[in-house]
Amino acid sequence: MTNIYVAKRIDKKETVGDLIKQYKGTNADCYDLIKDGVAVLKNKKLKEVGIDGNAKLRFQERLVKFIVRFDNGSSIPIEFGLTKTIKSLKDYLHDVKKVSVDQQRMTFNGRKLNDEMTLNDYNVANDSVLCMNLRNTSSMSMNVDVNYINVKLKLNDTTSISDLIKMWKEADADNYDLVVNGKVVPRNMTLREANVTVNSKLDLQERKISFTVRLCNGTRIRVNLAPSKTILNLKEHLNAVEKYPVCDQRISFNGRDLSDVSTLRDCEIKNDSDVILIGRLYGG
- 49-87 pLDDT tens trace: 777 666 677 888 888 999 999 877 788 999 998 889 999
- Higher-confidence residue of 133 and 117: namely 117
Q: What's the pLDDT at 194?
A: 79
| pLDDT value, residue 138 | 46
Task: Report the pLDDT value the prediction gives residue 53, as an integer from 0 to 100.
Answer: 64
CA atoms within 13 Å, Cβ hemisphere of 231: 20
- Identify whether the C-beta of residue 117 lies closer than 8 Å to the C-beta of residue 85: yes
The predicted pLDDT at position 8 comes to 53
**Domain(s) of CATH 3.10.20.90: residues in the chain:** 2-61, 64-134, 141-206, 209-279
* 209 pLDDT more than 80: yes
Residue 11 has a CB neighbour count (10 Å cut-off) of 11
CATH topology of domain 2-61: Ubiquitin-like (UB roll) (3.10.20)
In the chain, the N- to C-terminal Cα span, in Å, equals 83
Residue 44 scores a pLDDT above 60? yes
Read off φ and ψ for residue 131, nearest 5 degrees. Answer: -105, 135
CB 78 within 8 A of CB 65: yes
CATH of domain 64-134: 3.10.20.90
CB 158 within 8 A of CB 137: yes
Question: Taking 80 as the threshold, does the pLDDT of residue 189 lie above it?
Answer: yes
| 3-state DSSP assignment of residue 5 | strand
Indicate the burial class of 4 (C-beta count within 10 angstroms; 0-12, 13-18, 19 or more). Answer: exposed
According to the model, what pLDDT value does residue 102 have?
77
Q: Check whether 137 has a pLDDT greater than 80.
A: no
Mean pLDDT within 147-165 = 65
Domain 209-279 has CATH 3.90.190.10: no
* CATH architecture group of domain 141-206: Roll (3.10)
Res 148: pLDDT: 45
User: Among 35-44, 75-84, 202-211, 240-249, whose mean pLDDT is lowest?
Assistant: 35-44
Highest mean pLDDT: which range of 21-30, 93-102, 135-144: 93-102
Residue 35 contacts residue 66 (beta carbons within 8 Å): no
pTM of the model: 0.43
Better pLDDT: 159 or 272: 272
H or E element at residue 210: strand 209-214
Whether the predicted pLDDT of 96 surpasses 50: yes
Residue 267: φ, ψ to 5° = -85, 0
Tens of pLDDT, residue by residue over 224-255, are 999 989 999 999 999 999 888 898 899 999 99
The pLDDT of residue 142:
52
Q: How distant, in Å, are the alpha carbons of 207, 247, 250 from that of 258?
A: 22, 14, 8
The predicted structure's pLDDT at residue 54: 64
